A and B are shown apart, each in its own frame.
Chain A
Amino acid sequence: GESVGLHLPTLSVQEGDNSIINCAYSNSASDYFIWYKQESGKGPQFIIDIRSNMDKRQGQRVTVLLNKTVKHLSLQIAATQPGDSAVYFCAENGEYGNKLVFGAGTILRVKS
C-alpha cells in the first residue's frame, strides 16, 4: 500500500523464511518494471527487472512476478538473510518510458 510520511509498510520475517514484498503500480502503459533495494545511507541498488511480455523472472534467491491484469508486482526473496534488511522499492517506466516512477517503499526487517 501507500506510505504516509515516515510510516512505510514494514514486513518482518524470520531469518531463513521466504519474503514476499508487494507493489501496486499505477500506469497501465508501463512496460518495464524494476525492484531496488536501499540500505541506510546508500543509493538504491538494482535487484531484478521484468518486461511486460513476461509474468515471472528469476534471479539469484529472488523472483519477480508481474500481474498486468491487476497492475501488481511482487518480489519474492528465498531464505531471507539479515543482509536483506533494507527498504525495497518497485519502479515502473510510466507513460513515456524514459524515466522511472517509484513506489513508496517497503521496509524489510529480518529477525535472527
Chain B
Amino acid sequence: GAGVSQSPSNKVTEKGKDVELRCDPISGHTALYWYRQSLGQGLEFLIYFQGNSAPDKSGLPSDRFSAERTGGSVSTLTIQRTQQEDSAVYLCASSYGRANSPLHFGNGTRLTVT
C-alpha cells in the first residue's frame, strides 16, 4: 500500500518567511511524528500526535514551530520567520500507535533557508 507521503520534497525560502510542510500518513495509522535531521546528523524528535490526545510538543525548538493534524490524518508543520539554522530535512512518520509499533517514515522535505 501507499507509504507516508510528504510535500514538497524540496523547499527553498528566504530568511524571515513562513513555510508549511505537509505529511500524509499511512491510512489506518493513528500516531504521527515529526522529526528533523540536519546534514550528517541523527534524527531529532519534534512533535507527536496520537489519536485525539493532546500532542506531545516537547521537541519543538522554539515557538516559531507549530504543527496541526486535521481529522486525525494529514499533518502540517509550520515554521514562522524562518532562520538559516532551520535548514534541515524534516521527516514525518506514522505508526499504529501501539506500544512497540515501528515508525514508518516518508522521504522528508529538504528545507533550505537562504
Per-residue interface assignment for chain A, residues 80 to 107, with 1 indicating a CB less than 8 Å from any chain B CB and 0 otherwise? 0000000001010100011111111100
- Decide if A5 is an interface residue (CB 8 Å cutoff): yes
A-B contact count (CB 8 A): 63
Task: Give the A interface residue count (CB, 8 A).
Answer: 29
CA A8 to CA B41, docked complex, whole Å: 8
Can you list 26 A-B contacts with CB-CB less than 8 angstroms, sorted by A residue number? A3-B42, A5-B40, A5-B41, A6-B39, A7-B40, A34-B102, A36-B105, A43-B4, A43-B91, A43-B108, A44-B43, A44-B105, A46-B102, A49-B102, A89-B43, A91-B43, A93-B100, A97-B99, A98-B31, A98-B48, A99-B33, A99-B48, A100-B43, A100-B103, A101-B45, A102-B35
- Decide if B106 is an interface residue (CB 8 Å cutoff): yes
Query: Is A103 touching B48 in the complex (CB atoms < 8 A)?
Result: no
Specify the chain B residue showing the minimal Cβ separation from A41: B107
- Decide if B18 is an interface residue (CB 8 Å cutoff): no
* A46-B102, A46-B104 known; A99-B45 Cβ under 8 A: yes
Query: Is A43 touching B100 in the complex (CB atoms < 8 A)?
Result: no
Specify the chain B residue showing the minimal Cβ separation from A94: B45
Query: Is B100 touching A105 in the complex (CB atoms < 8 A)?
Result: no
* A32-B99, A51-B100, A98-B56 known; A103-B107 Cβ under 8 A: no
Q: Which one of B40, B56, B105 lies within 8 Å of A43 (CB-CB)?
A: B105
In this complex, the member of B35, B43, B93, B106 whose beta carbon has the largest number of chain A beta carbons within 10 angstroms is: B43
How far does the Cβ of B94 sit from chain A's closest Cβ, in whole Å?
A: 11
In the complex, which residues of chain A have a beta carbon less than 8 angstroms from the beta carbon of B91? 43-44
- Decide if A45 is an interface residue (CB 8 Å cutoff): yes
**Contact residues of B with A, CB < 8 Å?**
4, 31, 33, 35, 39-43, 45, 48, 50, 56, 91, 93, 99-100, 102-108
- Decide if A61 is an interface residue (CB 8 Å cutoff): no
**Contact residues of A with B, CB < 8 Å?**
3, 5-8, 31-32, 34, 36, 41-46, 49, 51, 89, 91, 93, 97-105
In the complex, which residues of chain A have a beta carbon less than 8 angstroms from the beta carbon of B33? 99-100
CA A110 to CA B69, docked complex, whole Å: 40
